[in-house]
Amino acid sequence: MRRLLAGRLLQGLAVLWIVATFTFTLLHLAPGDPYSYHGDRRIAPEILAHWRHVYCLDRPLPAQYGCYLASLARGDLGFSISQSRPVRDILIDYVPRTLELMTLALLLSFAVGIALGVLEARRRGTFADWGSRGIALFFYSMPDFWLALMLALVFAYWLPIFPISGIENVIDAPTFDRWQRMGDHLRHLVLPVTTLVLMMCAGIARFQRAAMLDVIRLEFVVTARAKGVSENVIARHHVLRNALLPIITLAGLTLPMLLGGAVLVELVFSWPGMGYVTATAIGSRDYALVTSSVLVTSALVVVGTIAADLLYALADPRVRAA
């Protein structure tokens, strides 16, 4: 187990190193440098020179690369030109919001996806199976930002049930007590989370359905059925338990999609997360912030994958022993 963890961590570090090298290459190849564009704001040349010196941009390329990796290792992600503060501070403010959105979306989409997959597998070939798969594929095919816009149109403009943007009711929030505040926050979460869940659950349901169907044909299921075990018990104890294992791996694999979806969904609903702050940095060509978001999302994915691997090892005694 410990060796498995060490191996995965090492692999994760290698992935991050490659991604860091890639972002360094991007920054180097891009026209100008992170401090050459500042829109209509005037920044004194001495300050720019100071920044360039701090981030080693006035030194030869190998030194720049070493400097870049060293500053990343220290957790220094550069200076954001659009927000005039270190990228690390921005991310500390915004990443938790993204994590909140993602955790909720991940949990809910797995709950919905697994339930749908089980239902489809048990009723395979029926109208319910066909319909459920059709609807899921429909949402899966939808561009996430457009689905978000349409949900906003229907449930915020036409039927003003849910708030359209932000994380809380800015005007009334100060007068709320704790419970009201929490309710208000949850109401703001509904539309973004729904978008992500609708988008994600199709793939999970499909995987779960296939996994269930793989197990259903195995001999021990037939044996259980021959012994007269009820279909419900078979589905729950024999099939689902075995079919849940592969889905843990899927959790790690869906993270990039979820994070990517979160970027656009955050933008549509003005949810102040990492995706939102990155998308709003596009216009100001904030090199440091944009490339840092590449690094941070990839780091989140790596951590998520390692967690999924460990969870799998914990859940499957065969892997644990190995």
Partner 1 sequence: MLALHWLCAAALIVALGAGLRRLSRPGPRASRARIVLARYATQPSAVIALGALLVLYILSALAPWLATHDPIEILAQTLVNHPPSRELLFGTDFAGRDVFSRVLYGTRISLTIALLATFLSVVMGIAYGATAGFVGGRLDTVMMRLVDAFLSIPRIVLLIAIGTLWAPLSITSLIVLLGLTAWFGTSRLVRAEVLSLKEREMVAAARALGARDLAIVRRHVLPNLLSPVIVAATLGVAGVIVNEAALSYLGIGIPDPTPSLGNIIHDGTPYLATAWWVALFPGIVLVVTSLACNLAGDGLRDAMDPRQVDR
Which residues in this chain contact partner 1 in the complex, by CB under 8 A? 11, 14-16, 18-19, 22-23, 26-27, 29-31, 124, 134, 137-138, 140-146, 149-150, 152-153, 157, 210, 213, 217, 256-257, 259-261, 263-264, 267-268, 275, 278-279, 281-283, 285-287, 290-291, 293-294, 297-298, 301-302, 305
Q: How many residues does the structure list for the chain?
A: 322
Contact 208, 243 (CB under 8 A): yes
Closer residue to partner 1, CB minimum distance, 46 or 219: 219
Quote the least distance from Cβ 148 to partner 1, whole Å: 10
Contact 90, 80 (CB under 8 A): yes
Q: Which two tokens stand for residue 125?
A: 């070939």
Nearest Cα residue to 91 out of 318, 295, 257: 295
Contact 269, 152 (CB under 8 A): yes
Quote the least distance from Cβ 22 to partner 1, whole Å: 7
3-class DSSP assignment, residue 143: coil
Contact 258, 196 (CB under 8 A): yes
Quote the least distance from Cβ 313 to partner 1, whole Å: 19
Nearest Cα residue to 144 out of 203, 192, 96, 95: 192
Quote the least distance from Cβ 265 to partner 1, whole Å: 11
Quote the least distance from Cβ 177 to partner 1, whole Å: 31
Query: Which H or E run includes 85?
Result: strand 85-86
Q: Which two tokens stand for residue 320?
A: 């644990």
Closer residue to partner 1, CB minimum distance, 296 or 313: 296
Tell me the HSE value of 117 on the side-chain side, using a 13 A CA sphere: 27
Question: How far is C-alpha 173 from the geometric centre of its chain's CA atoms?
Answer: 28
Closer residue to partner 1, CB minimum distance, 186 or 282: 282
Quote the least distance from Cβ 202 to partner 1, whole Å: 10
Closer residue to partner 1, CB minimum distance, 261 or 272: 261
Closer residue to partner 1, CB minimum distance, 48 or 137: 137
Closer residue to partner 1, CB minimum distance, 146 or 182: 146
Q: How far apart are CA 192 and CA 92, in angstroms?
A: 21
Quote the least distance from Cβ 256 to partner 1, whole Å: 4
Closer residue to partner 1, CB minimum distance, 193 or 301: 301
Quote the least distance from Cβ 289 to partner 1, whole Å: 9
Closer residue to partner 1, CB minimum distance, 30 or 221: 30
Query: What is the DSSP code string of 220-287?
Result: HHHHHHHTT--HHHIIIIIIIHHHTHHHHHHHHHHHHHHHHHHHHHHHHTT--SHHHHHHHTTTTT-H
